[in-house]
Homo-oligomer: A and B are copies of this chain.
Amino acid sequence: MRCFVVLSHTGPLSPEFPLADLPGSAGRLDILCRCATEAFLLSHGIRRDVRLYLVIRGKLLIRLDGASLRYLNPDERSTAALLRKAIARAQGVDPGEWAPSTPGIAVRWGALAHVRAELEAEGFGVYVLEEGGEFIRGVPFPERAAFVLSDHRDFAPEDLAALDGLPRVSLGPRALQAQTCIALVHNELDLREAGWTSVSCR
């Protein structure tokens, strides 16, 4: 099982934003939408063995589970509508409690540290996608691997504190958009699972 954790430093904490202005009044929600598309969608099908956490401003967590996910289409606008429903669902929910939104999507108030704790409790190996890390093609991963990445901004000091001690992995020589990173991780793991390549091929 694969997991991605995307940190949004500017995303919305309340659902009062128009779907026609995702980069502006929705605080670059377009990035999170593209991340959901790359995390779950194949050309014709959905990756059921994937989980995606969106961590908005270190306060609001949205969890998408491929096993039960419904209504996810590839375009940004419809994905933003799904996320807006989740954000609306969160209003008034007690901190620390996962609230179900649409099928396969849940929401709670909480921080990156909660996500890390949840993943480690489930036996995931957690990796940070960061320039300067070890080149992915040489890194062996456990069957349950989670990858933490940032949006258009660098990791903030409080992010780095919550990610302390975790291994860093790099995807290449260029600084890439968040959804591109997800695409590259999926491909590397797809290739290994299918025996097209192996670790430490470099």
A positions within 8 Å CB-CB of B: 19-20, 22-23, 30-31, 34, 37-38, 41-45, 73-78, 135, 137, 152, 171-177, 180, 183-184, 187, 190-191, 193-194, 196-197, 201-202
With A23-B74, A30-B76, A45-B175 known, 6 other A-B pairs at CB within 8 A are A20-B77, A42-B176, A43-B177, A135-B196, A172-B194, A173-B193
Give A187 to B175 CA distance when docked, in angstroms.
11
Contacts of A135 in B (CB 8 A): 196
A-B contact pairs, 17 of them (CB 8 A): A34-B37, A42-B175, A42-B176, A43-B152, A43-B176, A44-B152, A45-B175, A76-B76, A77-B77, A137-B197, A173-B193, A173-B196, A176-B183, A176-B187, A180-B183, A184-B184, A184-B187
Indicate if the CB atoms of B202 and A197 lie closer than 8 Å: yes
Measured CB to CB, the nearest residue on chain B to A171 is B187
Neighbour of A175 across the interface among B43, B73, B201, CB < 8 A:
B43
B30–A75 CB distance below 8 A = yes
